[in-house]
Every structure is written in C-alpha cells, then in structure tokens.
A and B are shown apart, each in its own frame.
Chain A
Amino acid sequence: MAGEAAALAAKKLAYGNVIAGFLLLAICVLATSVRLFSVIKYESVIHEFDPYFNYRVSRFLTEKGFTETWDFFDSFTWYPLGRVVGGTMYPGLIFTAGAIWSLLQQLNVPIHIQEVCVFTAPLFSGACALSTYLFMKEVRGQGAGLASAAIIAVVPSYISRSVAGSYDLEAVAIFALVFVFYLYVKTLNTGSLKWATALFFGYLYMVASWGGYSFIANLLPIHCLACIVFQRVSVRLYIAYAPWVVLGALAAANIPVIGFNAVLMSEHMASFFVFGLLHAALAIQYIQHMLPPRAYSAAKRLVITVGGAALALVLALVVSYVAASPTFGWTGRSLSLLDPTYASKYIPIIASVSEHQPPTWSSYFTDLHIASLLAPAGLLLCFRPLTDASLFLLLYGVTAVYFSGVMVRLMLVLAPAACCLAGLALSEVTSYLATSLAAAHQDDAAAATASAAASRRVESEAADSAAPSNTGTSKRTAKDTAASASSARKGGKAAKKSSAASGGDSWLSDTWRPLPKDVAIVGLILVFAGMGLFYKHSVFVAGEMYSAPSIVLQSKRADGGVKVFDDFREAYAWLSYNTPPEAKVASWWDYGYQTTAMANRTVIVDNNTWNNTHIATVGRAMSSPEKKAWQIFRSLDVEYVFVVFGGFIGYPSDDINKFLWMVRIGGGVFPEIKEPAYLGADGNYRVDDQAGKALLDSTMWKLSYYRFADCGPMFGAPRGYDRVRNTVIGKTDFELKYFEEVFTSEHWMMRIYRVLPQPNRDTKLRNPRRTKVTNRARIKRRAASGAPA
C-alpha cells in the first residue's frame, strides 16, 4: 500500500515536472513574443536615444573586434574633447549582442548586428522569466516560481524597457539582477562553493551590464546584516557572502568604468563593513566555543571595550574621509537616490531627465497592475515561514519600493521584486483554494468513512491528485495551468506539512482547515479573473503604450490609415549624405547619440552627460542672441545646428518645450543667463506676445520659428499659430543673419541650419563701399561685429 502510493506519487511528480517544464517554456515564449509588438506595428529599428549609442558601439564591435572596443576612443562626440568609450561604458549588453552576432556569423547566418540588437531585449526577457522561476523556486517552491515567472513575463514596467528595439542596458541587466539573486539564494541554501563561484560570475556579468549593480552591492550586505542581527549566521551565509565581497569587488574593479570606485566610493562601503561584521560574529562564535563560560564573559568585556574603541576610531576615519568629499563619497546619481531633493538642487542635468522624476501613484498601477495589489500579501507570506531566502526577498521588496519612490526609472528594479512577491501570494492563495476544493471533493466521495485521523491522509492524496485532474478539464491559458500546477505542488506540500505535525513554526499549519467548496470556487474564479485582467492590461500596454520607437511617430488618418511621421530619420539621413563627413553638428544633448549613430557626424554634446560645462555651453548658445550664439558655435567649429520643432504638427517634446532646461543648465555655469528673463511678466514660461524678451531674442526661438509664421493658414489657423503651445507666437517676422536654413524635414520637426562663415550683410546698413569710411571706423565696426578681420 505504502509502496504503491510512493510509486504513484513519483509518477505524479514526474508528470508535474514535465507540465512545469512546458509551462515554463510557454511563459518564456510569451515573455519574448509580447515584446514584439513594436516590430509588428512599426518596424525592426532601434528605439529612442540611449539605445543608439549602444547600437553604435555594437556596430563598432562587429567591425573592429573585442580588444579595439575596450580601447575605443570616440572622436565623434564631445568635440573637441572626445570620449573614452571603452572606459566609460558598461560593456555587458554590447558584448552580449556581439557574442550572439558572432555565434550566428559562425553558423553563416547573414544577420546584421542591428537585428541582433533589436531582439536582444525580448530574448533576455524570456531568460529573465526563467531566472525568476529559479529564484522563487529557491525561495519558496516550484509553484511560487511558476506564478512569479508568469507575472514577470508580462509585467508592464519591465515591458516598457525591454520591447524589441529597446536596446538599453536594462534589457539584459534585469535578467542579470534576478539571476544574481537566484545564485545568491542558491548558494545560501546549499552552502556550496560551486554556486558561490557561479555567483561570482553572475555578479561579474551584472557589474559589466548596469550601474544598478550597486543595488545588489548594498542589498546583499543588508541581508547579511539582517541575518547577523537575527542570529542566523551560518557557514552557508558565510560561503554565500564572503567570497562575493572579495571576488565581487575584484570583478567590479576590472570593469574600467568602475575601476577603483569599487573600493573608494561609498556605494561599496556597506559590503566591506558587513564583511568585517560577519567575521566578528563568526569569531565570537568560535571563541565562545573555545573558552569556558567565565573566561568568555571576561573576554567579551575586554573585546567590547577595545573593539568599541577601535570601531570608533575606524568610523571616525571613514567619516572624515567621506566628509572630505562634497558628495560624501557617493556618486551624484546614488546620492540623488538617498536624498531625493539632491538632484533638483544641485544637478539640473539629472533632474532634467523625465525618467529621473518621482513616479505618480497611477504609474504604480499602470506599471505593476495586479502585482501592486498582491505584493503586500506576498510580503506577509515571506514570514510564513521566514527562511534566509524569504528574508532576502522581503528585504529586496522593501528596499525596491523605496527606490522606486524616488525615481520613475527604478520602477524597473521594483518590478521583479513585486512580481516575485505577487507570485508568492498568488501561488499560496491558489494552492489554498485548490486544496480546499480538492478536499471538499474527496469529502463528498468518501464522506461517511472519514475519521479525523484518516482525513489528513486523504487530504494529502487529494492535493497530489489535483494537478492531473485540473489540467485535463478545461481550456487553459499558460497562466491558468501555471496556477493549477502550482496549486498542486503547494497543496501537496501544505498537506504534507500539516500531516507532519511539525513543531509550530507556521502559524497556519496547525489550524489548517479547508474552505467551503463554494467559497473556494468563487475565490479561484476571482483569482483567475484578476490574472486575466492583468494579462489583458499588459498586452494592451505592450501594444499601445510602450512599443512606439519614438523616432517614428504614427497617427491615425481620417480614412483609418496610418500617417507616418519619419522626420527624424529624414533629417539624419540628409545630414549623413549631404554634409561634409568632418562637419560638426550642434544640437541639444538629447539628440547626440542619434546624430552620431544615424547621421554619422561629430556632435558637441550627447546623452552621456559627463561634462556639464560643455552642455552648458550649448545651452548658453541656444539661449543667447544670434550673434553671441554664432560666436560660440564658431569657436566650437560647428558647421550645422539643428533644432527639433513641433509647432507645425503638434509634437510636444520639442526644443522650445525643453528650452527652460537649456536656460537652467546654461545659467548654472554661465551666470549671465538668467532664467527670469526668459519668463513672461507673470512668471510663467510662455511663447505668446507676453513672452520674456530674452526668449524672443534667443537663437532657439529664431531657429525654431524662422519663416514659420506663414504656415498657420496651411492648417487653418491664424498666422503664427503654434500647434503645440496652442497660441500665436510672440515674434513672427525676422531674418537670420548668422545662420542659414539648409534643410527642414517634411513636417518641420527637424530644422537644420548652417552656421555661416561670415554673417550676412544687414540690408539696413549702408553699403560701406559707397560711403566714405575712415580706416579707423572700419576697424571699429569689425571689432563690434565680432567677425574675424
């Protein structure tokens, strides 16, 4: 009887494993394919801004090779300074795409690196679902793993950064993040040096991929510290933590962009501090083991006094070292996380990026949907039972919630945490409901015979049989089956736990009682309905909100067709083919990466905002009157200047709307730029006749609105009407003296100007050849006009 039952259980386990495997495969396929909307609706193209830099370096990698890429000095950007790309980038993503590309090349698959780049993010989303499964399997079990994987596969927050074409660092970094967590928890659970080695390599990949590695570098110490405080120090913790600190720091130091920051910056201090603490805790344990109790207490006193003094000394040293640095040893970006007001006060460039703003409540719901509801329940379930691994998940969730509150961008770090917690809650809830249902079913069948002792055994068998019976019954989405399989696994486990009559480490297991059948059914329906809504929402968001590549815009035409606004590429292609290859192009820094990648021209500033002064110089030129701007641009050897202008078709993220940031950033370095001068009399930023005088005189104004006034009647609006600001602009008719329009794209979204070698002669001036001009007056005028004599 017992042997048969064991054989049956083994068979069911095998079935369960196969089903789980297929589910996992389905989840991975789903995670990848839900991100392909952008390719289907638009095209296979690199999105937005930063991905263009990564793409360009990847192209460089495929053309020049691995070692050349480490030494890549980019003379096409930050003219005349250039940029040491090899030493200032996180190479993980680029080398990943390069590796995939060269593998395909080995197989003679003639694929362009661009296609590889486009599909890297969806591919790694599938891998991320897989590593989430592994992570949660380690933390709690297979059911929680499947549920979490099913949620993270389509969580909108992650989709927003990993649609096809979104070739950004986060594309592989989130996978790496979760995978490092998995390896850490695995090491923690097994205490195996093999996994500790894997953890090192995983961490190396993470460090190479994303600056967000510092989150791990602080989360692991926090967890270790918590373990120490809660007296859970073990050799497994030591094996998981100590090699990671040492080898991880070495790994980080080997990535050029981090280098000695791995031991110098405050971000990394916590790990070393906790490293020492862990050793101290283990030493105390050891000494306690060695000494008789009385000697131990004496030693304890001695050590506490001496150690306290030493610690105070070290702390004082560290504090004085840290305080000597203006940012307290933190990098600006990290500090703006710890002190959310820091960036807006001191670093306008960081503050000017929209993804560095704090999120709104609604964005939590849009980006996490049901996960934001289930995650708190998951947090509670981490305590039932609280293991080292679930403690880790708990800490991860709590810290990620904090960071996401500071910056929209870090919602991305919260997403895996929220998904894992939600998956935990989902799997527990579903398993509870399904087990209740199965128990009720069994009760109906064998109602009379069940004694109090037997019912427990029946329960466990019923729970085990839940999986096959459930999967056979009705149509299933991947999610459905995930839940049911998870319920089976969890149910079996829960039932076993209850029959094991353990010593009370779980507050539910003693009092486990099935819910009434009706309640269980309604509960299950509600759970599946919730998940259905979540999937519907996610697919909608993936298709409608996050798949636009932002370099191509679409709008619905009256006849139902799609109108395509491809102005950016039109202008970049024009620059690329119709300007001298050595020409320098100036624009606001947002478009730097795109210009170097698509137009293949040298730019003054780009999205790698490492030199504030340089950016401020461009901001100053754009904010200054034409003549001053001309001098600045000439001094930078700029031949072409372009502006992005939305007033013709109503494209809101144009340069006029970004202009105040140019003024602020320019004014931060060059005090002659004063923000109030660019505002209207009422203190608001406006472009109508109440606009600030400096704004009307600025080069940005002139380059944006040059010859624009007469376009108003074309779309049935008054002369000079701006369709973004919905107003008639304050200054319409003016001539350019120092610049010359050379190209404007079809919908006026990009306007390219040539910086004239000599200013145009002002028609109002009298012809100097006709009037008698003394030599002195001529020199004087030349000096005044600023032209080289």
Chain B
Amino acid sequence: MSLSQRTMAALLVLVLAAAMCAPAARAQLVMEDVKRRIDLTSFRAGFQTKLTVRNDGQTAAESVLLCFPNGLLDHAAVIETGDGGTKLKWAVALPPADAPAGVGCRAFQLAAPLGPGAKVSLQSEGLFTHVLQPKPAKIKQNEPQRVVYQDSAVLASPYAVEQQSTEIVLGTSNTASFTAVPPSKQSGSVVQYGPYQSTAPFALQPISVLYENSSPFAHVPELEREIEISHWGQVYFEERYTLRHAGAQVVGEWSRYDVMTKPAEFARAAIPGLSATLPPAAHSLYYRDAIGNISSSEARFGADQVSVQLQPRYPLFGGWLVKFLFGWSVPLQNCVTKMPTGRMAFVAPLGPAVHGLVVDQLTVRVVLPEGARGAQVEVGLPLEVPPEQGLKYTYLDVMGRPVVVLRISNYVDELNLPLKVEYTYSSLGLLQKPLLLVAVFGAIFAAAIALNRSGAALKGSPSSQAPRHRAPIRPISVSSSSHVAVASGGGAVQAPGVRRAAPATAARNMPVKPNKYIEEWGTRREHLETEYKWDNKTLITLAIWIGAVPYLIYQVTVGEFNRTDAVAQRPARAMLGSES
C-alpha cells in the first residue's frame, strides 16, 4: 500500500471515529480493572496500562477510547495498544462533550467487535516527551535537578472504572513532594496511588510529583538527516544535529575544577556523550561541526554493528546547546536491492543513528540518483505531513537529483520506523557523467586542434617574429649616437661604442606589418624633426594647449570639487593656489 493510500485510510478512520463510534460505544463499555504504571526514571514519561474492558450494552462495540489528561496527548511520541497478540489500529478522536479541558483521546479499533457481555484485556504502552518540567527552572551547578510531573491519580476514562491503581516509578527516593490522594504512599522509589473502586467517567484527581531527576535531558529541536544514494556504489548518510539540554538551566558560576574533581555532585545531569549504532558495513565516518573536526569520538567495528561513542565538544549542562554533523557511508548493495519488478528498493531506518534522544522535528531527505523516476515512500506510520518532492544539484548534475523529503515531529527511538523508497533507475544512467566529461574534454581538444590547424592569424603576429629574447640584447648607451630602435646584437655589458654599427641591418631585414597608428606617428615625428618651424602660429597653438587648456581644465575641476563640497555641506578643500 502506498503512502498516500495509507494517509487516506487514516483520515477516513479519523472521521468515522470522530463522527460515529465514540458516542455510540461509550455508554456501553465498563472498565473492570485498570493497572497503570508510569515510568519517570528518564527524561521522558513512559506508561504501561493494563485494562480489562467489558461490554455492558446491547450492541457490539467496535472501538475503545483511551484518554489522557493535562494535554499529555499533545506530547505523545508513541502510544500502542494490543489485545495480547495484535496491535490495534487507532485514530485521533474528539474527546466526549463532558470531558474536562485538556483531555485528549484516541480511539482504538478492536480486532473483533466486542459483543454484549464479552470482555477483552488490553495492554497499552506509550511515551510522552516534554512532560517533565524542571522546577526550579534555574539551578546552580551543584544543585540537584528537580522536575515536576502532572497527571491524574485515576485513569482519564470516558467509561466507569470498577477498580484501578496507579504506580509511579521515579528511580529515586528523593521526592520533594507528591499530591496525596488516599490511599497513596511512597515506598522507596515508587509512589503508589490506589486501589480506587468504582470511579465515574472523567472523575479526575490531579496530582503532581516533584522529585529529583538527574537524567540528561537530551532534546534535539531540529535534526536533518540526508541520505544520498549513488549508484556508483555508496550510500551517504549525514545527520545534522542541534542538541540542547532541556533540563534545569545552570546559572551562576560554572567551575571546571569541580567538574573534574566532583563530577557526581557538579556534573550530575550533564550529557557527557552520546552513543550511536550504524550498520556493520558502515565506513568513512565523520563527526564534525561548523569549525572543524570533533576529535572526541570512538568507533568500534563489530561483526553485527558499528558502535560509535560521540562526545560533544563540551559536556552539555542544563540549558546549553551544541550543533554537530555526523555522517557515514554504506556500500550500495547493503541498502539498495533490485526488486523482481525491476524497480530499486532502498531500505534503511528512518530515525537517527544516535540513541536516547527526543527529536522535536526530524527532516529526512532521500536524494535519489540523477535520472531516477517514480519515487514512492513507505514508512510504517501515517505521516502528518505528506512527503515532498524536490531537486538537488550536486557533482556535475545536469537535470538534478530527485529528493524526497519527510517531516516527522516528536521522534523517539521507540518508534523504530523503517524507511523504504522505491524508484525506477536504469543502470545506463551511470554512463551519463563519464560521457558528459568525455564530450566536454573532446570538444575542448577538438576546438584547440581546429584553432591550431586553421590559426594562421595566431602565428602571423608581428611580436612572434620579432627577435626572441635569446638573441642577446643590444644596450643603447647614452653617449651613443645610433638610432633608438629594437634591434638584435651582442649580449653582455659592453663598453659604450664597442659595436655601434653592426645591429641595424638585422632589424631592417625583418618583415614588418605596418600599423597605421605607428605610421601616422612616424609621419608626425618626421614632420617635427625636419619641417617644424617656430612661428607665431605654432607658438599660439602651443600656448593654447600648454597654457590655456590645462588651466581651464584645472579651474573646472576645482569648481566641481567646491560645488560638490558645498552641496554635501563639507568645508571646502584646499586646492593648489587657494589659501588654506
């Protein structure tokens, strides 16, 4: 099934669920038993709910509504519900009219309609991101990081619940406070609410837990993942991270000495490093940022995977930010296979190689080889934003390479989505670039040859026929009375007058192409040398050209300068002759 079909189906289910299923099925269902377990040990909130649903109504129920208070659903990265064997399909549902503000619901379609009186056991699991808020938001370097979690002590259920209990696992016994809803108690690192009997629909009991959580809040506001497929043999992966520690912001003095000597106290929530896993054939790894290579990384090449430890340039403390690039290559045959239909199929994980992150906005670009057609994308999830198509021009591209862009928000490792891109590509396309280069260079050489063969004009220039420099140079001595001319003759320093007459003949025998300007100049010069007379007329001409014209030019220039100075309201500049 193609992606667009998938999306359509999802939309259809959504509309159906919103319009019909929810109100009809609601009144009939009853939750017999609900056991909730909320895991707050990391910087994300995980939950695990076991529920037994019974149909007390007259008609069969198609779906079950699961709801979450406090806008939690907006932060859901993944929610999966199963009935012991299969995963249930779901759709976003409008909360019932009597639901309190902030409640969001999802409608899970049961594998088989639940007949009247029948029961079904469901397990629901999920992850919320951005729900643990640091409190206080700013701490000193040695202060513990505390976070607050807000939920309801009872399940936000649109159905009546006969019996339920909630268990919150904190991973620490350092609880600052938690809202008491009897029977509730803390035992060790676990806070327990319940069991509660017979709760009405949406009878919420808001609770908030404030506790110490030293997890590194590794949030990635933006992550760009670019995959470039080259049918010359490699697939290039590059991931551009913006990593932020979203925990309590460290303010005030920050001491390296304390970090070095007492890391347990002064660097407790810092992100010291990240780990990534690459396929076993990965090679040519790089880890850098805008100002160069980041030297603190380590890769172990194993048989079934390559595991990489990446350390940012500096350990990330609360509120700090860092950006970096991480890239590698994989041989083509490890990623791309030719399907029986003749089309190519590229398969890789959709998500980033680095583990343990919360990615707010993940952008995946798949750059297909130039000449690929008919790209179809398949991801194991209906996408909120349909994939976009684009073009990218790199290495000697003429037509550009087709690019498929996928955008996913709130990505976590647990989604673990595969990415499959199918496209049509002819291996003949590989020949395009070599042929292009051959053609271009061939054209250049052909042009050069043609020019050389036909280029009499290039050879006939006077300068190439003039005496070459190898012909030693004839110096012209100041006391010599010979003609000033380019000439050939003896070479080295010579006493003046040693060879005065010899060179002239060589110069005269040369074929010279007459240049009309030079000829004209020669004529004038000859005129000046032989016929020029000093008389009144020539004197006046001379006076005009030597005296009057320069003077006028000078005056006009000075006038212009002064005028522009006046316009720009600058003080007038001192000119030659003007008093300064």
Interface residue ranges, A against B (CB under 8 Å): 43-45, 107-110, 138, 186, 189-192, 194, 230-236, 281-282, 284-286, 288-290, 385-389, 503, 505-506, 551-552, 564, 566, 569-570, 572-574, 577-578, 598, 707-708, 710-711, 714, 740-746, 748
Contact = CB atoms under 8 A, between A and B. Distances in A.
25 contacts: A108-B395, A189-B473, A190-B469, A191-B466, A230-B493, A232-B493, A233-B475, A234-B486, A235-B486, A288-B479, A288-B480, A289-B481, A289-B482, A387-B473, A569-B292, A570-B313, A577-B320, A578-B321, A707-B257, A714-B260, A741-B253, A741-B254, A742-B253, A746-B314, A748-B256
Nearest to A288: B481
Nearest to A569: B291
B314 A745 contact: yes
Given A235-B485, A503-B490, A573-B322, A566 B296 contact: yes
A108 B393 CA distance: 6
A741 B252 CA distance: 8
A110 B394 contact: yes
A745 B393 CA distance: 40
Closest 10 CB pairs of A and B: A189-B469, A744-B256, A385-B492, A505-B492, A564-B295, A45-B292, A232-B475, A43-B293, A231-B477, A577-B321
B457 to A, nearest CB: 14
Interface string B482-504: 11111000111110100000000
Interface string B169-195: 000000000000000000000000000
B396 A108 contact: yes
B396 A107 contact: yes
Contacts of A564: 295-296
Contacts of A743: 254, 256, 314
B493 A235 contact: no
Nearest to B292: A45
Interface in B242-295: 252-257, 260-261, 289, 291-295
A578 to B, nearest CB: 5
Given A108-B396, A110-B394, A192-B466, A281 B478 contact: yes
Given A107-B396, A190-B463, A741-B253, A577 B323 contact: yes
B466 A707 contact: no
Max chain A Cβ within 10 angstroms of own Cβ: one of B252, B393, B469, B484: B469
Contacts of A234: 473-476, 486
Given A230-B493, A286-B484, A598 B291 contact: yes
B397 interface: yes
Contacts of A286: 484
Nearest to A578: B320
B478 A192 contact: no
Nearest to A388: B473
Contact of B397 (A108, A598, A742): A108
A503 B294 CA distance: 70
B484 A235 contact: yes
B484 A285 contact: yes
Contacts of A741: 253-256
A432 to B, nearest CB: 19
A285 B477 CA distance: 8
Given A577-B322, A578-B320, 10 more contacts: A108-B397, A234-B486, A387-B492, A505-B490, A564-B296, A566-B313, A570-B313, A707-B255, A708-B257, A740-B252
Nearest to B494: A505
Given A109-B396, A110-B395, A233-B478, A742 B254 contact: yes
Contact of B293 (A45, A288, A289): A45
A93 B314 CA distance: 34
A708 B395 CA distance: 52
Contacts of A138: 469
B472 interface: yes
Contacts of B388: none
A387 B472 contact: yes
A192 B252 CA distance: 73
A231 B295 contact: no
B459 to A, nearest CB: 15
Contacts of A191: 466, 486
A710 B257 contact: yes
B531 interface: no
A756 to B, nearest CB: 10
Interface string B62-98: 0000000000000000000000000000000000000
A585 to B, nearest CB: 15
A386 B492 contact: yes
Nearest to A282: B484
B349 to A, nearest CB: 25
Contacts of B535: none
Contacts of A186: 469
B299 to A, nearest CB: 15
A43 B296 CA distance: 14
B291 A573 contact: yes
Interface in B288-338: 289, 291-296, 313-314, 319-323
B529 interface: yes
A566 B323 contact: no
Contacts of B293: 43, 45
Given A236-B473, A572-B291, A505 B491 contact: yes
A290 to B, nearest CB: 7
Contacts of A707: 255, 257
A236 B474 CA distance: 10
A186 to B, nearest CB: 8
Max chain A Cβ within 10 angstroms of own Cβ: one of B255, B260, B313, B395: B313
Given A189-B469, A290-B529, A740-B253, A108 B394 contact: yes
A43 B257 contact: no
B277 to A, nearest CB: 24
Contacts of A108: 393-397
A191 B494 CA distance: 20
Given A233-B476, A286-B484, A566-B296, A574 B395 contact: no
B243 to A, nearest CB: 10
Contacts of A506: 492
B246 to A, nearest CB: 14
A44 B293 CA distance: 8
B75 to A, nearest CB: 25
Contacts of A285: 476, 478, 480, 484
Nearest to A238: B484
Contacts of B292: 43-45, 551-552, 569
A107 B395 CA distance: 7
Nearest to A141: B470
B365 to A, nearest CB: 13
A173 to B, nearest CB: 25
B207 to A, nearest CB: 35
Contacts of B322: 573, 577
A38 to B, nearest CB: 12
Contact of B475 (A45, A192, A231, A711): A231
A190 B469 CA distance: 6
Contacts of B494: 505
A495 to B, nearest CB: 16
A573 B289 CA distance: 9
B319 to A, nearest CB: 8
B297 to A, nearest CB: 11
A570 B476 CA distance: 67
A679 B485 CA distance: 70
Contacts of A740: 252-253
A103 to B, nearest CB: 13
A234 B485 CA distance: 8
A572 B397 CA distance: 37
Nearest to A186: B469
Contacts of B490: 503, 505
Max chain A Cβ within 10 angstroms of own Cβ: one of B473, B477, B480: B473
A583 to B, nearest CB: 14
B266 to A, nearest CB: 12
Given A282-B484, A742-B253, A745-B314, A566 B295 contact: yes
